[in-house]
């Protein structure tokens, strides 16, 4: 009988904890890509909880802000996905921009600073701020 009462009490205590779910975290991502920072990158990403890393994804927009534009700034859209390691604060990202998949990796700092590598072209500097 005591075992049955103990199990009932434990079940009642566990039920409210299961009913609560953490809210998804959203971040603003701002960055500049290119040798002269001529591409402005913006994104709003949401978090998916993972065991060993924080994983984020969302739509991104890239706008050419260099002085060499002719008919207004060129704009590209796509998606960004990245993980931040819980142990090393390493950020590893995949950027899908108009059908091209680029990769990026950087250590934690303010800003994250690394190289973005895309197929068939030289890697370019990319700085990212997460807010």
pLDDT tens for the 131 residues of the chain, in order: 444 333 344 344 444 433 334 577 899 999 999 999 999 999 999 998 777 789 999 999 999 998 766 777 899 999 999 999 888 889 999 999 999 999 999 987 789 999 999 999 999 999 999 99
Is residue 13 situated within a structural domain?
A: no
Residue 14's pLDDT is 42
Residue 12's pLDDT is 43
Residue 52's pLDDT is 77
Between the CA of residue 46 and those of 3, 18, 53, 119, 131, what are the distances in Å? 43, 22, 14, 27, 12
Residue 72's pLDDT is 79
CATH number at residue 118: 2.40.128
Q: Could you give the number of structural domains in the chain? A: 1
* Domain that residue 77 falls in: 22-130
Is residue 8 situated within a structural domain?
A: no
Residue 66's pLDDT is 81
Residue 6's pLDDT is 35
Is residue 65 situated within a structural domain?
A: yes
């Amino acid at each position: 009988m005591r075992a049955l009462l103990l199990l009932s009490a434990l079940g009642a205590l566990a039920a409210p904890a299961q009913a609560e779910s953490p809210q998804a975290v959203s971040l603003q991502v701002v960055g500049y890509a290119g040798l002269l920072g001529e591409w402005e990158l913006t994104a709003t990403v949401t978090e998916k909880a993972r065991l060993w890393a924080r994983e984020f994804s969302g739509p991104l927009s890239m706008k050419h802000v260099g002085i060499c534009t002719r008919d207004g700034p060129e704009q590209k859209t796509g998606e960004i996905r990245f993980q931040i390691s819980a142990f090393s604060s390493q950020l590893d990202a995949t950027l899908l921009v108009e059908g091209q998949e680029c990769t990026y990796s950087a250590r934690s700092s303010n800003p994250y600073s690394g190289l973005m590598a895309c197929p068939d072209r030289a890697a370019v500097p990319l700085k990212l701020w997460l807010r």
